[in-house]
Amino acid sequence: MLERIFFVSDLHGSTVASNKAINAAKFYNVKTIIIGGDLTGKALVPILETDCCYELEFQGKNTKIKKSEPEKLEEAKRQIRSTGSYFSVMTNSEYEELAENQKKMEEKFKEVMKEGLAEFFDKAEERLKEAGAKMYLIPGNDDYDEVAEFAQKHESEHVIFFDNRIVNLGDYQLLGYGYSNPTPWRTPREKAEKEIYKDLKKLVGQIDKNGIYVIHAPPYGTALDKAPKLTSEMKQVAYETQHVGSTSVRRIIEEKPPVLGLHGHIHESGGIDFVKSNNGASVPVINPGSEYSSGVLKGAIIELDSGKLAKYMFTKG
């Protein structure tokens, strides 16, 4: 039986990219959308309210908006959210209180993340219901555990959260796993390789038919996991890359090969590669890449037939 999927990853809170992902059901005529992690953004932009104005700094530009120009304030908010960042309107004293208390700043950040996700889920449920489609999603390493728990609680008929779970998709089973191996940035959801392997080993043991591994981190040593090489001072080495994927993800694919591996995490390494399993099978693995901050949605339309990858096409728009 033919299964047609639209796969994207690393939306990072961009309202433009997220809306395009939802609308992909009708645009690409697919009934199944899969999001491979990193649902939320990375920055919070304070909008400081004074007696006469709103002031903000965004993308290196200082902006002052008069209270008599509400349409300009709304446009600034729209631009912030389109790039995946969040905003919060506050007074100078409120900002100073947050700036001096890292815990309170993090709590505010998580609060606006949840608000953004709630809006995304409501819109997705409404539009996917109209299209007769479903969206399956997992968090990634940049998504806080509290945000992942929030997403799970807001699961609905047409928006299915499947991190650390196996869910059925026609003749296939989706394995979802959003943690990554350690990164230089010490993001919220990282685990040691031995822990990742233990988790994945347990999950693959629950698969009893054709498996599709939706794992945020790509397998190590492939075309999907090449990232810019960094110095000890976290500066990029010109024109040099290195493999930064997960050895445990590669190992689990080699030991119990799926029909297909779907990955994200490394935005600049979109493409397809193949991992040779221990039984000689050549497993296709796909990373669509990401350009979320520009509002561009990169994806892959994938067709599976009789337990094999039949066709694939990368999209960008």
User: What would the pLDDT profile of 136-147 be if each residue is shown by its tens digit?
Assistant: 999 999 999 999
Helix H or strand E segment including 71? helix 70-82
* Mean pLDDT across 114-138: 97
Q: Which of 21, 19, 13, 9 is nearest to 290 (CA)?
A: 9
CA distance 69 to 67: 5
Answering whether pTM is above 0.75, one says yes
Pairing type for strands 2-8 and 298-305 reads antiparallel
What pLDDT does residue 264 have? 98
Q: In this model, does residue 238 exceed pLDDT 90?
A: no
Mean pLDDT of the chain: 96
Q: In this model, does residue 152 exceed pLDDT 80?
A: yes
Contact 207, 246 (CB under 8 A): no
Query: What confidence tier does 231 reach under pLDDT thresholds 50, 70, 90?
Result: confident
Residue 225's SS3 state is coil
What pLDDT does residue 117 have? 97
Q: In this model, does residue 232 exceed pLDDT 80?
A: no
User: What would the pLDDT profile of 65-94 be if each residue is shown by its tens digit?
Assistant: 999 999 999 999 999 999 999 999 999 999
What pLDDT does residue 235 have? 78
Q: In this model, does residue 230 exceed pLDDT 90?
A: no
Pairing type for strands 53-58 and 61-66 reads antiparallel
User: What would the pLDDT profile of 258-303 be if each residue is shown by its tens digit?
Assistant: 999 999 999 999 999 999 999 999 999 999 999 999 999 999 999 9
Q: In this model, does residue 249 exceed pLDDT 80?
A: yes
